[in-house]
Chains A and B, each alone.
Chain A
Amino acid sequence: MNSLILVLSVIIIFIIAYATYGSYLCKTWGLDPKKQTPAHTMEDGVDYCPAKAPVLLGHHFASIAGAGPIVGPIQAAVFGWLPVMLWIVIGSIFVGGVHDMGALFASVRHDGKSLGEVIHSTMGDTGRKLFSWFAWLTLILVIAAFTAICAGLFVSTPAAGSTSILFIILAIAFGFFVYRKGAGLGVSTVVGVVLLFACIWLGMRFQFTAGFTKSTWVIILVAYITVASVAPVWILLQPRDYLNSFLLYAMIIGAVLGLVILHPTIEAKSFVAFNTGNMNYLFPMLFVTVACGAISGFHALVGSGTTSKQIDNEKDVKLIGYGSMLIEGVLATIAIITATYIATPELGELLSDGGPMNVFATGIGNFMQSFGIPFETGKVFTSLAISAFALTSLDTATRLGRFIFQELFDNRQSADEKANVLTNKYVSTVITAGLGGLLAVMGYAKVWPIFGSANQLLAALALLTLAAYLKKSGKSNKVAVIPTIFMFVVTFAALVLLIIQKSADFATNWILVIIAAILLVLAVVLARFGYKTLTETTEEKIKG
């Protein structure tokens, strides 16, 4: 099968789904274009501020898309590309899309509070504490997964490591000259882009190879995110994001152009086996491995908080909530194509060698070669771009994790700030990043499914909240209930399987087993809380 045909058919299916199922959701939920949105009723020019639908769709998509929808599908390709594709298509339409659109909808109807806030406020003190612990653990897993993935990439493609370091130095220097010294943005941008390519050129010549093992990179990365997450936003964040946009432009153009010119034939097997060995069963593992491309709980927390405050009209909820999830599905499809035109045995080798990012970079490198960019350059460039996004996720997760940790350990009955060292900004950052790093050393292959389970558990909770909200408002909630049950079953099964699988070698995997066990317990408790909310649908329980 030709990959271009695959992408185009996915796009057509999504357009049909958008027009049919999307509209069906609008109707059953009662989206009302005449109803005033929080962006208008609470407009303050700070958070609440109406935005044009297409622009907001862009913002929202940028918020929910990242390295996640690329890594998951490639990793899952070991089962063969067909099951992954089916899950991406069906998942995006019936689970992820419902979840994202529902989260946005519920948030718009709750004064723009994010669904995380809504879930949080429906729980009692104990539930709230558990939910915070759960969120913190999930963030640790994000840190672990992305640190491990970057470390893997930097070992397999040493040029990517040195280029990334140069890129960070460039970003800091760029920020210093533009934002502090007041050098003109136009000139600086030209200089910045030139230097960006100089980084790649230099990075390919000076590679950290000798002595730079995965563990070394994990330590370097943990040190970096610790510093980056406590530094003021303008030192690194602003210039880096600015430069990142050039990387993204170039990567998108390269990938799309290459895909069209090369339109490779899919070489990989469409289906490998239900069990790829070591108890890696297609069910439930596929459904926790491909998270962001089909459904991701983070979307409910991250996107709904800011986006819902900017929705101009309730009818935009469909485009922004449902539409952006479908676009993410297309992104996941492109990601899997980079893996599937490589034949299955080679894919396995590439995966075990440098992980899913290595596969993606190799794929895009090949695409770019089709219009004359040397393979090595294209690969290093793609590695830089994707690891730059992973690094953004890393320090954001560290920041968020630190906030939650500080909040969890602060005794609100005491005024003594120094009494509890755990609430210290630096201590909590080091603990959060350090624990992530400790897990990262185990390797991404072990961490990723647990991260996926946590993410899917979050999604299950968000769907549950949506179901409860719909029931409370007297609407049919089966569009939410069925995915809720499915997601809970998937998470429970995956966690139980992971515990059994990892317990076989308890001596090395004990941290993973413990974390999976904690997640399982939390899943049970939170599901019970959720079940209670769903059955007792009193007004104040939902509103908190």
Chain B
Amino acid sequence: MNKIVFFGGKGGVGKTTCSASYAVFSAKSGLKTLLVSTDPAHSTSDIFEKKIKNEITNILPNLDAIEISGEKESKIYMDNVKISLKNVVSPVIVKEINKQIDAASISPGTEEAALFDKMIEIITEKNDEYDRIIFDTAPTGHTVRLLTLPELLGAWLDTLIKKRSKSVTLMSMANHHGQTDKKDIDNDEVIKILRKRYEKINKAKKIMMEDKLLSFIFVINAEKLPIDETVKAINILEKYNVLVDGIVVNKILPENMKDDFWKSKKEQEQKYLDIIMETFKGKKIFKLPLLQEDMKSNNIENIADKFSEFN
């Protein structure tokens, strides 16, 4: 299994429980593990019965967790911008520009962008510290956007750096009778910021895509619709060179059902399980049972062990 593992799938299939138990499994097998929850409902805290905040918290031996939220991250980012603004221009002008910042903070992509930013920060900065980083992520669409972000941002940053460098060069040509000073470019604050972001995004890209340290696990239930959707999603991800490692079939009904309703349900499930085994041949397929009660810290280890059969 790869170093960075993303759990994906439609809402309600049990991504959080699966990623939590997988994290416990990793920790128990001796890997220093970080579980990152991006779920706004913060059910990770519920599972471990421990308040996890937006900073790294130790849960079990070898297992740390963090809950990040786009809303919080974007607020931190915006506040930082406002503070540094006040140190560059008069607070009176900042008042005017604040409108612009506030408008940005409610625009649709902002929280997602902030979340991605934080995810990239964790990937680039915690990569060396942990043996495995597990993301309980959002639906597939978001993931694809996250993976294409280095591409999009890289091109954008590249253009910006070029434009700014050209502008600085021309200005220094005009001011020093045409002589250019390379230092002017290196000392430029704008270029420094842009380069920093560029390096970060490239590092994330290298980790996620070039070194192939990223893998993806899909969580599905044995039903028709999720299978079709997952096939599509896998195709997309593999186009981006992301390895889809395994499929977790969650909420499998127990054997020997008694009444007719559940018996036919179980038969149907078996049919779909067969289809799943056929469709995702070659990938690791984990089956996790439907639990009688909510998963909590006392029963999580039982589930975690289910992963060992395949690793």
Contact = CB atoms under 8 A, between A and B. Distances in A.
The reply, when asked whether chain A contacts chain B directly with Cβ atoms under 8 A, is yes
Contacts of A234: 170, 173, 178
Interface stretch (A175-183, A428-436, A477-485): A175-183
A175 B179 CA distance: 10
B170 A179 contact: no
A45 B173 CA distance: 17
A369 interface: no
Interface string A177-192: 0111010010000000
B177 interface: yes
Judged by DSSP, the binding face of B is loop
Interface string A234-268: 10001100000000000000000000000000000
B180 interface: yes
A238 B173 CA distance: 10
Interface string B167-178: 000100100011
Nearest to A239: B178
B173 A185 contact: no
A180 B180 contact: yes
Nearest to A188: B177
B180 A185 contact: no
Contacts of B173: 179, 234, 238
Nearest to A233: B170
Contacts of A175: 178
Contacts of B179: 178-179, 182
Contacts of B178: 175, 178-179, 234, 238-239
17 contacts: A175-B178, A178-B177, A178-B178, A178-B179, A179-B173, A179-B178, A179-B179, A179-B180, A180-B180, A182-B179, A182-B180, A185-B177, A234-B170, A234-B178, A238-B173, A238-B178, A239-B178
Given A182-B179, A238-B173, 17 more contacts: A175-B178, A178-B177, A178-B178, A178-B179, A179-B173, A179-B177, A179-B178, A179-B179, A179-B180, A180-B180, A182-B180, A185-B177, A234-B170, A234-B173, A234-B178, A238-B178, A239-B178
A339 to B, nearest CB: 39
Interface in A143-200: 175, 178-180, 182, 185
A179 B177 CA distance: 7
B196 to A, nearest CB: 28
Interface of A: 175, 178-180, 182, 185, 234, 238-239
Q: Report the 9 A-B pairs with minimum CB-CB distance, sorted nearest first.
A: A179-B178, A182-B179, A185-B177, A234-B173, A238-B178, A178-B178, A179-B173, A179-B179, A234-B178
B110 to A, nearest CB: 26
A188 to B, nearest CB: 10
Contacts of A180: 180
Contacts of A179: 173, 177-180
A185 B177 CA distance: 8
A238 B179 CA distance: 12
A185 B176 CA distance: 10
A504 B180 CA distance: 58
A182 B183 CA distance: 14
A180 B182 CA distance: 11
Interface in B248-268: none
A238 B180 CA distance: 14
Interface in B114-134: none
A289 B61 CA distance: 94
Contacts of B180: 179-180, 182
Interface in B156-196: 170, 173, 177-180
A244 to B, nearest CB: 15
B197 to A, nearest CB: 28
B295 to A, nearest CB: 51
A245 to B, nearest CB: 13
Contacts of A185: 177
Contacts of B177: 178-179, 185
A182 B170 CA distance: 14
A182 B173 CA distance: 10
Nearest to A180: B180
A238 B176 CA distance: 13
A123 to B, nearest CB: 34
Contacts of A238: 173, 178
A238 B178 CA distance: 8
A186 to B, nearest CB: 10
B185 to A, nearest CB: 15
Nearest to A234: B173
